[in-house]
A and B are shown apart, each in its own frame.
Chain A
Amino acid sequence: MLRILQFLKGYVRMKIWGVSPERFLNLCSNKNILLWDICKDGDAYTMCISLSAFLQLRPIARKTGVRVVILQKFGLPFLLPNLLKRKIFIAGLFLCVAFWIISYRFVWDITLEGNYQITQEVFSDFLASRQVRVGMQKTDLDISDLEKEIRRAFPEITWTSVRLSGTRLEISIKENDAPMYTEPEVTEGGQNLVSEYAGVITSMIVRSGVPMVKIGDIVEEGTLLVEGRVPIYNEDATVREYMFITADADITVEHSLTYQDSLPATYIQKTYTGRRSSRPFIRLGSREFKLPQERPYLVYDTVIQGHTPMALEKLSIPISWGQYVYREYMNVEHEYTLKEAEELLMEKELHFLATLEEKGVQIIEKDVKIEEGSAYWTMEGWILVDQPTGRLVPIAAQEAAPEAAQ
């Protein structure tokens, strides 16, 4: 810090010699003149002194019979006159400062974080409809109003924070993690619960309706599990009337699923030839400028290597450059070995089982085999599962069906 101040104020390195240099030093200190880096150089002394103090030295030097010579000049006051002579440099400096100042007045980047259900595209469209876009002036942005509009437009967003960090607009949102509660649909005439699979009932919790099956019963697809028509009895045990409600129950059925999957016997693999070429580009916002070039190879892929200067990245100014690297490759056909085919098919099967488990299906037993065909590897077998079941069917429709059948 002291060095910076000294540079800004300017200082000189001087040489003194004469009758009484020690007295010269003492008089300087008495007049509160700071001297530093004092060194003995033969018969003379060299030292540093600030520019303003140097101008006060004449009476002291005369009094002590000391001669003073400037050896070197340092600091801004000495640099400035030379700099002012360089008109293009000064113009460039002003333009640079003006560029930063003007750039700082705009929003150059918009970031969104915390979105899981709402996609980036949907949110970008929403921002565009509210005239919030890259390149807009910061003064046109009403942050609190934007926060309110986000919450209003997306009811699933429970919390939102919008802030300007330099020239970047940072939007953080929090979506509602809890499942959205939907009102059960009230159907005229009530609804029955029927089985979706053929199997054996393993558990049953009925919340409303009349259970028509019990644990251990074998059911078919479409078998009535819980009836939505609840009888109301008279005192003499005769049915007075029926109340129609929507049946509600948690029922699981043990049944077997057939599992089948296949994998082609061959696959295409990219093999790079090692030949590559590059094409430089410069990108300003969404516009890109690159050197013209013909199709480099017959078959190739492209890697984009971009660079953004640190200063521009901090300011979020969308200027970057880099190169397109084209890499030639050949499509080579390979055959899967038994081990590779096993690994891939097992991976697919595990993925399938994980999807089932996510749906609340419990896997009890499985038996699958891998077989080699002429053009495919196949995986076949069965999986015994305990799966929640129950599909709502309007009572009128279900009753109408048997009548129609009759």
Chain B
Amino acid sequence: MKKKQAEGPSRREAIIDSLSLPKDILLGALRVTLTGSQEAWVENYKGILEYTECQILLQGKNCQVCFEGQRLSIEYYTNEDMKISGCIRCVRYQ
């Protein structure tokens, strides 16, 4: 059973890769677009886990992503996407 679960996503990924289909739509992968170190657009997240001026932690479908920096703020936040602005020092996946 465990083996099936472990093999499942990789087989799916292989099929998606071979068909050149967008992973963010089919796998629900986080999509992060950075413009310099000042702005970041994030899509396909589940929600905010933590928000401080130095760190914004987001929950994705398969992983978490953490934006670290200074004076971080959320310019807008909807069900679809969000925009983070401020001085972004690091983007870390957990």
Contacts and interface: CB of A to CB of B under 8 A. Distances in A.
Interface of A: 21-23, 25-26, 28-30, 32, 34-40, 45, 47
Given A22-B48, A26-B48, 12 more contacts: A22-B50, A25-B51, A26-B47, A32-B79, A34-B77, A35-B74, A35-B77, A37-B75, A37-B76, A40-B73, A45-B51, A47-B74
A26 B45 CA distance: 10
Would you list the 9 A-B pairs with minimal beta carbon distance, nearest first? A26-B47, A38-B74, A36-B76, A29-B79, A22-B48, A35-B77, A39-B73, A40-B53, A25-B48
Contacts of A40: 51-53, 72-73
A401 to B, nearest CB: 101
Contacts of A34: 76-78
Contacts of B21: none
B49 interface: yes
16 contacts: A22-B49, A23-B47, A26-B47, A28-B77, A29-B47, A29-B78, A30-B79, A32-B78, A35-B74, A35-B78, A36-B76, A37-B75, A38-B73, A38-B74, A38-B75, A40-B52
Contact of A36 (B46, B48, B52, B75): B75
Tell me the dominant secondary structure on chain A's binding face: mixed
A135 B72 CA distance: 62
A36 B78 CA distance: 9
Interface in B21-48: 46-48
A25 B77 contact: yes
A17 to B, nearest CB: 13
A39 to B, nearest CB: 5
A25 B75 CA distance: 13
Nearest to A22: B48
Nearest to B54: A40
Contacts of A23: 47
Contacts of A25: 47-48, 51, 77
Nearest to A42: B53
Nearest to A34: B78
B19 to A, nearest CB: 31
B9 to A, nearest CB: 25
A38 B77 contact: yes
Contacts of B51: 21-22, 25, 38, 40, 45
Contacts of B53: 40
A22 B74 CA distance: 12
A359 to B, nearest CB: 75
Contacts of A26: 46-48
A32 to B, nearest CB: 6
Contacts of B49: 22
A40 B55 CA distance: 11
Contacts of B47: 22-23, 25-26, 29
A114 B23 CA distance: 67
A45 B72 CA distance: 12
Given A22-B51, A25-B51, A26-B47, A37 B79 contact: no
A208 to B, nearest CB: 88
A261 B49 CA distance: 101
A37 B86 CA distance: 12
